[in-house]
Chains A and B, each alone.
Chain A
Amino acid sequence: MKMLNIHKDTFKHGVHPPEYKEETNHLPIRQFDFAPVLIIPMAQHIGSPSEIVVREGQEVERGQLLAKSTGYVSVPIHAPAAGIIRKIANVPTISGKMSPGIFLEVFPFSGQEVAEGMPLDIETASADEILKGIQDAGIVGLGGAAFPTHVKLKVPDDKNCEVLLINGIECEPYLTTDHRVMLEQTEDVIHGIKYLMKATGAPKAIIGIEANKMDAAEHLERHIPEDLPIEVKVVPVKYPQGAEKMLITSIMGVEVPSGGLPIDVGAVVVNVATAAEIGRLLPHGWGIQERVVTITGPGVKNKGNYLIPMGTPLRYVLDQVGVSDNISEVYMGGPMMGMAVSNLDISIVKGTSGILVFNDEDVVSRNEEHPCIKCGACVEACPLSLNPSRMGLMAKFKAYDRMAEEQNLLDCFECGSCSFVCPSHIPLVQYFRLSKSIVRKRKSAKQHA
């Protein structure tokens, strides 16, 4: 057996939040029941929303196309279950905005067989055909970003992909979906990597895994065939190790230029669950219908990793797993970057990696914000060596343009490490989110003027 490749190098700074993964990381993935009605929003990914191609009253098979992509940065949506289209109307989404959506009433006694599509043979398919296949399968980044994967995989003509990085870091506390996927969908992961290598032209692939998932690393190492140029590298546990830029620095020892993309240093990064989904769907020509979600947090009774059909309403999910009486906040995603849910009528979508339920006593007490005492904790935490303390002050004085010009505001990817460590409870990352959107709006206003 090959020795595990344990990597000591890592990016600068970062934080060590408590992990809380032990409650779910040993629990096998369980299939979730179909809700009576699935609510499927068309805006599930970054880019233009999908366009509905079915009509009210129509019966659909499981896996049938419900909505087509509307451009290059867009993906189609497939029926997560066999059923009948009850209604087409606006539905709520996590951002608070309404999106066109489909109410799909699931046939209760259907066998829920998936409609067979056009298989894509890895031996004969060209790179472009694989990219097209990935788009047609409706695949987006399952780590949470929900960016259409085929766009990310398209290597510009003047660049080369030297290495495909598979992101099995899962640095967000509480979440264990990628961990379980690596253990239970190993063949899909490996098969997906083969598709991805062909699509990008990468001569080798490296699977990056944090040192808190040694079982997954060993398991993958055992199952990767000797003749495949796929390596497993174990990196130190540190948040935000799973951020693309940080992972590239930890494994490749180079930095992605400010404002640039991983391909600028010859890398393409794909989340491990996304790779598994590609490996599972493409050989059958299927579209994505379900995903693994960690449902956990102090307010959940039956914590675990569940394979949940897209469009399952959050209310139904929480009813099934059971929650305590004094729940206070529900988050989609991890505790560091996840968003609070204001409406339980939103549904599980492609980008939902976790559902966290906190009780009253678990919610960070929103004590009043104290003045910045220049303790420097945020400066020591920021993985990009930005100066959150100074930027926070500038945001208060509304010096947004100066934040962008002098302090590299637009490089911030909102990992939240600064807010996590701030003893004065200043919502730094929230200031930066707002500042970034203001700067971007001003820039685009200038361009249009």
Chain B
Amino acid sequence: MLNKTLHISTSPHIVKGNSTQVIMKNVVYALIPAALFSVFTFGLSALLVLGTAVASCLITEYALCKVSGRKVTTSDYSAVITGLLLGMTLPPAFPLWMVACGGFIAIGLGKFVFGGLGYNVFNPALVGRAVLQAAFPVAITTWTDALSADRFTSIPSSVLALPFMEPVYDITSGATPLSAFKFDHHITPSFDLAFGMIGGSLGETSSFLILAGGVYLMVRKMANWKITASILTSVIVLSGALHLFNAELYPSPLFMLFSGGLMLGACFMATDMVGSPLTTKGIIVYGAFIGILVVVIRIWGGLPEGVMYAILLGNALSPQLDQWLKPRVYGTSKKKKS
């Protein structure tokens, strides 16, 4: 006779494979090739910046969870992603104490004050980066040349600057392709851009590896390809139209695609599920909005790069997009007011 205590649970009794943790883990995997390439391009300093960014995010998350008496959530990988993304938006010779400030702000202000993972409005890494840009305008626009000979043997002194001390730069301040375009009207060849033989932030250099990582996530359905496609399409269309109108004044769509942080933003930041709309229509509009802002800021704005602000503004807009573009519920004739 069957005599066994049965467990009970609510339906459904089967689930699809992906868990949040697995998704987050895969985002980390997808970022690793581009991160390693930045270490190859910029050497030890890149390794230190990335490591500090990740460590400061993890420590902040742990400390804030402990202080507020919440369950410690460092194992969900989201802080690792924030750290990696933050690190990749920074210049290679960025002082480490500033990196740590960025990590603290990203997790504390970008995520924790909103209620933790899932409740944040803005991409935490970009919140950290935005504060750093406001606080340290010089450090964040001082670039090291790529592939310098001594990159694996020495560390730029600025990296190890003491907290609250003005860093001393002993390096040649190379221009990024975007600032070269903005201020000197010099166009870097697209091939160099795509394969990362250029100066810039850690994650700005190899568009190709970043795109490959992004495609990996999209194929595994862990990032929404529609967001990336919508951003890149709107960038191509708008910059292409401008380029056709006046090729002297406006750079080609290829240059626009592969320079700066566009790939990193389009593949890893704008696709951050938390800050993007839920509905397909909302996602398309969100992507187009970001793409158009990127081109507008780069060409007419006062800054060489506009990806960060474009995505932050897109994040701010996305809850509204979900409201405005709410899909029609089955069996209802018109959209319900809310």
Contacts and interface: CB of A to CB of B under 8 A. Distances in A.
Interface of A: 11-12, 15, 17-18, 173, 245, 249, 255-260, 315, 318-319, 323, 327-331, 333, 335-344, 356, 358, 363-364, 366-367, 370-376, 379-380, 383-387, 389-390, 406-408, 411, 416, 419-425, 427, 429-430, 433
29 contacts: A173-B14, A319-B1, A327-B4, A329-B8, A331-B11, A331-B13, A333-B11, A340-B6, A340-B7, A341-B8, A344-B6, A366-B9, A370-B19, A371-B116, A374-B275, A376-B273, A379-B279, A380-B280, A385-B329, A387-B326, A419-B15, A420-B16, A421-B16, A424-B118, A425-B15, A425-B19, A425-B20, A429-B10, A429-B11
Interface string B276-296: 111110010000000000000
Interface in B274-330: 274-280, 283, 322, 326-330
Contacts of B18: 423
Given A15-B16, A371-B116, A416 B331 contact: no
B13 A387 contact: no
Contacts of B278: 374, 376, 379, 387, 389-390
Nearest to B336: A406
Contacts of B15: 364, 419-422, 425
A333 B146 CA distance: 63
Contacts of B68: none
B13 A258 contact: no
B247 to A, nearest CB: 39
Contacts, number: 171
B332 interface: yes
A385 B2 CA distance: 44
A367 B6 contact: no
Nearest to B12: A416
B331 A256 contact: yes
A329 B7 contact: yes
A258 B12 CA distance: 24
Contact of A419 (B12, B119, B327, B338): B12
B173 interface: no
Q: 9 tightest CB-CB pairs across the interface, nearest first?
A: A371-B118, A340-B8, A416-B12, A258-B331, A384-B330, A406-B338, A376-B278, A335-B13, A375-B273
Contacts of A173: 14
Nearest to B115: A371
Contacts of B332: 257-258, 408
Contact of B6 (A17, A330, A339, A423): A330
B166 to A, nearest CB: 40
